[in-house]
Amino acid sequence: MAAVVISEVLCFTCQNYRKIDKTTLLDTIAKFYHDDELYAAKIELNNYVSSLSAPPLVDGWSKFVNKQGLPIVRKSSDAAMKRCADAEDLLQMLAILDVQQIKLPTFVAADLDRIPGTAGCSRPPDAMLQPDTSKLNATVGELLRRFEVLEKRLQGPYLPHAVSTPSTPIAVTAEPSLPAVLTAADGCYHGVAAKASAPSTDSAVQGSWAAQASQLSSTGMQPRKTLPVRVRGKSTHATVKAVPRYLTCFVGRISPDVTEEDLAEMLEEKGIVGVRCKKIEPKNGLSYSTAAFRVSCSVSYESIFYDESSWPEGAELRDWYFGNSNGRQ
């Protein structure tokens, strides 16, 4: 077998086998070469493998040849489909030889017009096969620049006018975060509505108490810091008495049909005596898919009160925040 084999198809394919992705290479040779050229390339590969002095055992090679030892002829009524099938066979044959490290001869081209990218084209084959990403990169860069402008505008003071760029105007209405205060008759719990506004008469704003409470820290309205308790008295006196401390929590994600009596009865069954439950009614016409309660009890039941098994699955407890207008119990 000659060390140099003339085959435009194999010359181009072997030169670009590791340079470009297989999908692009398959599409190029299937569209550029005729079916007879592709089949001739399959014959050249098969002849080389058959002519080796000590033919190796090439795994998977038998599925590309027939009983006579010739490459399988792909038949199809669609010429384009037939070329795609032959091109795919050719790439798989090269892949098998490459995996098993079988050295191939040098394939050369006698007619450069039969090399993609050289016939009537000044660009080399690699340049022709590589996609032109300059426009895509420019578009992505422009979008990133606009997002940076919008981000800076939205992070700064509230600007009611539209934000635009020199090229294409983009109207953006920036709404500042509006803090909402959920109040009860005898207490308050501060939260933030992501977009709180007065609802229409036909529909109410939907949400959850937990969503309001989870955004407390983002508004900067943190509960007031208190000094730790140094001593907690235990003695008794005939005239000087202390007011017992109560545990008070905001209990959210409760089913809307649960009443104050239902919740108090459940906690009493757990062993908490004298529990107080106050259902919180949303203000300003807001409505939520879950109910919330203000629940308090004596500190002596702290272990039961803060036990997860004392509450239904999914319920959430948070310490009650007492504002300046609310006295502690």
Phi, psi of 195 (to 5 degrees): -150, 80
- Range of lowest pLDDT (112-126, 138-152, 265-279): 112-126
Using pLDDT thresholds of 50, 70 and 90, give the confidence band for residue 112. confident
**CA 133-136-140 angle, 5° bins:** 135
Q: Which two three-digit tokens encode residue 167?
A: 């090229």
For domain 177-223+242-329, the CATH class is alpha beta
pLDDT at residue 121 is higher than 70: no
Q: Distance between CA 297 and CA 306 in Å, rounded?
A: 11
- Residue 192: the pLDDT is 38
pLDDT at residue 198 is higher than 50: no
108 by DSSP, 3-state: which?
Answer: strand
pLDDT at residue 35 is higher than 60: yes
Using pLDDT thresholds of 50, 70 and 90, give the confidence band for residue 196. very low
Average pLDDT for 116-145:
68
pLDDT at residue 191 is higher than 70: no
> Could you report the per-residue pLDDT of 278-326, keeping only the tens digit for each?
999 888 888 888 999 999 998 889 899 999 999 999 999 998 877 665 5
- Residue 233: the pLDDT is 78
> Could you report the per-residue pLDDT of 43-71, keeping only the tens digit for each?
888 888 888 765 556 777 888 888 888 88
DSSP secondary structure, 296-315, as one string: EEEGGGHHHHT-GGGS-TT-
Residue corresponding to tokens 């090679």: 61
- Residue 260: the pLDDT is 94
pLDDT at residue 209 is higher than 70: no
Q: Distance between CA 275 and CA 117 in Å, rounded?
A: 85
Residues in the chain: 329
- Range of lowest pLDDT (42-51, 97-106, 165-174): 165-174
Alpha helices, DSSP H, located in 116-177: 125-129, 134-155
Residue 73's nearest CA partner among 31, 43, 47 is 43
The answer to whether the CB of 13 falls within 8 A of the CB of 90 is: yes
- Range of lowest pLDDT (163-172, 231-240, 318-327): 163-172
Using pLDDT thresholds of 50, 70 and 90, give the confidence band for residue 177. very low
Q: Which two three-digit tokens encode residue 115?
A: 């090399």
Using pLDDT thresholds of 50, 70 and 90, give the confidence band for residue 147. confident
328 by DSSP, 3-state: which?
Answer: coil
Average pLDDT for 71-88:
87
Q: Distance between CA 160 and CA 129 in Å, rounded?
A: 49
The answer to whether the CB of 71 falls within 8 A of the CB of 39 is: yes
Q: Distance between CA 154 and CA 160 in Å, rounded?
A: 11
Q: What is the DSSP letter of 119?
A: T
The residue ranges of every structural domain in the chain are 4-129, 133-176, 177-223+242-329
pLDDT at residue 205 is higher than 50: no
What is the separation of C-alpha 204 from the centre of its chain, rounded to a whole number of angstroms? 31
Percent of the chain exceeding pLDDT 70 equals 69
